[in-house]
Amino acid sequence: MRKILNIYKLGIKEIYSLLRDPVLMGLIFFTFTIAIYSVAHGVQTELNNASIAIVDEDRSSLSSRISGAFLPPYFKKPDMIELSEVDPGMDAGRYTFVLDIPPDFEADVLAGRQPQIQISVDATAMTTAGNGTVYISSIVQAEVTKFLGRSSGEVALPVDVQIRSKYNPNLDSSWFLAMMQIINNLTILAIILAGAAVIREREHGTLEHLLVMPVTSGEIMLAKVWANGLVIVLSAVLSLQIVVQGVLDIPIHGSMWLFAFGSAIYLFAVTAMGITLATLATSMPQFGLLSIPVFVVMNLLSGGITPLESMPQALQDIVQLLPSTHYIKFAQAVLYRGAGLEIVWPQLLATAGIGLAFFVFALFRFRAALASAR
């Protein structure tokens, strides 16, 4: 009971210390409010107002139908240009797509000769280029099919494909980006706050005060873990309820309590990682430089931005040792698909096991740092 009381009181001290730090409190507020809103509205992966030009060398009824099919909000009004203007226009960045309809296109279509339309794409805008090419191909195919149906009576397609998008029926990228931004920011803040707590003790000289108190290094570290973890979990839950559900009007399908429980397990590992980095650094700037590559690599390779299946097999095996890999699977299953504990327990168990290993190593490093401070 004495150890539990020590951990509780030291944790309360950590929370008071954090509340009195305007910089860190401002960082927490910005990270879970403005940063979430700006990313959800400012970053778009779907096609929106893409610039397109059309070279109509056929000037037929069919080519006019195709030219008139590119409409907002996916495309801007097409610019009708000559063939000699294609390269200068794309070099200057005025057009993302250029559609070249060849001469005698309509006549070749009616004769069944399968003519080709060239689509030139500015692939520097990678996401827009990939999505836009699919949209353009679909639009051209649809207009040609309608034209042939009008000319020859009816065109029977061999397959009727019905697309059903689950969990995000409008394919709105803000639904994905808002919640993934909370998950990524949760990782960053956990490392920063836990590490900053240790660095702050050292810079303010209060670490020496702790050393003369009847507390162990394990109690000191557990207090920092639960206090900073509690602040981050509460901030993430409030951000989901107020910013995501309230302001952005994005539905959350799963249990908020299950998400908070899984986040607490994950933060047990990540805050321990932050304390480990703080024992390696001697100042706050040094800690910041040391932590940047850690959470950047964790976010990029955890499967939240790019699918794990697209990575080399060796890298897929390595990232299984990161707690963020299992946590992102858990968070996406709960928040996006409404999964229950019976589905996500393997991810929670893996996160807890990796977190325990990180905590043991962090405790070893923290004890060594306290011994050197005596």
Sheet containing 97-101: order of strands: 79-80, 52-56, 97-101, 118-121
Instruction: Please state, in angstroms and rounded to a whole number, the distance separating the CA atoms of residues 325 and 2.
Output: 36
Closest of 320, 288, 277 to residue 301, by C-alpha: 320
Q: Grade residue 264 by pLDDT with cuts at 50, 70 and 90.
A: very high
Which tops the pLDDT comparison, 257 or 153?
A: 257
**Average predicted confidence (pLDDT) for the chain:** 85
Which tops the pLDDT comparison, 288 or 210?
A: 288
- Give the model's pLDDT for residue 8: 85
The residues, any chain, with a CB within 8 Å of residue 210's CB and separated by 6 or more, are: 201, 220
Q: Give the model confidence (pLDDT) of 234-256 as tens digits.
A: 999 999 999 998 888 888 888 99
Q: Grade residue 222 by pLDDT with cuts at 50, 70 and 90.
A: confident
Angle 34-38-42 from CA coordinates, rounded to 5°: 175
208 pLDDT above the threshold of 70 = no
| Strands of 85-204, DSSP E | 97-101, 118-121
Helix, strand, coil distribution of the chain in percent, nearest 5:
70, 5, 25
Q: Give the model confidence (pLDDT) of 16-48 as tens digits.
A: 888 888 888 898 899 899 989 888 877 766 778
Closest of 154, 56, 52, 157 to residue 105, by C-alpha: 56
Q: Give the model confidence (pLDDT) of 149-169 as tens digits.
A: 765 545 555 676 777 877 777
Instruction: Please state, in angstroms and rounded to a whole number, the distance separating the CA atoms of residues 307 and 172.
Output: 18
Residue 256 CB neighbours (<10 A): 15
Domains of the chain and any CATH numbers: 2-43+172-373 (no CATH), 52-152 (3.40.1710.10)
